[in-house]
Amino acid sequence: MAVKYGLVENLLTDDPNDYRAVTTDNETDTEEDIVDDMVERGSTVTRPDILSVLEEYKASIRRRIAMGRNVNTPLFEAYHTISGVFNGLDDTFNRSRHKVKLSMNPGKVLKDAMSSVEVQRVDIDPATPDIQRVEDLRTHSINEEFSSGDIISIRGSNLKFDESDPDQGVFFIDDSGNATKATNVAKNKPSELLVFAPEGLSGSYHIEVRAILPKRKTLTINRFEKELSTVE
């Protein structure tokens, strides 16, 4: 098995010969798959026992994260950060303006695993929307935050959509999966979209571009890999 990747044009530089790698068609394993692998490899622990221990392990980590503690294991390192602007040294944390986030880094076991990963280059269908960069034009934040109600720039390739079709456009997806469409579009080009982020958004969102591309009949959806937070 290898990490499959393809090359697409890098629109973040002025050099037309610059390309960037995009991973594609790589299989995803669930916790159930990992438990099955443990059992198939001849573990002396039964499947119910494995599931029970994993539940206790997850519950213990959850309790520590909820207590504000950092967690450092051979698999990962987890720690808290706080986003939002504080108005002077006397200001205090306010959930309407600030947010506690969880950041994670790979631990030693996963870092060691990465040293032996193989890669395989494959062809990528160019007729696929590809979001490469999201910029808040008011704060100039790139791939991090956006301002609800203000204009944002979405750059990439094959981004243009039919504005008359309600199923196409730019959508903001919250943590519960609810989608809010950007109805005010200032620019609709294959390499760049300028849209006003919907009013009233608060929290973290994924941005999706949904479009029926030329010579296609079905809707294609591309979700930006990074989750963006609203500017408080």
- Tokens in use for 131? 């979001």
Task: Name the segment(s) of the chain with CATH classification 2.70.50.70.
Answer: 130-230
CATH code, residues 25-121:
4.10.520.10
State the average pLDDT over residues 114-124.
91
The band of 127, judged by pLDDT with boundaries at 50, 70 and 90, is low
Residues contacting residue 77 through CB under 8 Å, at least 6 positions apart: 70, 71, 104, 105, 106, 107
Q: How confident is the model at residue 42 (pLDDT cuts 50, 70, 90)?
A: confident
For residue 229, the model assigns a pLDDT of 92
In this prediction, residue 125 has a pLDDT band, given cuts at 50, 70 and 90, of: low
**Please, what CATH class does the domain formed by 130-230 belong to?**
mainly beta
Global pTM reads: 0.59
- Give CA–CA dist 5/3, Å, rounded: 6
Report yes or no: 75 and 110 within 8 Å, Cβ to Cβ.
Answer: yes
| Cα angle: 70, vertex 72, 76; to 5 degrees | 115
Domain with CATH 4.10.520.10 in the chain: 25-121
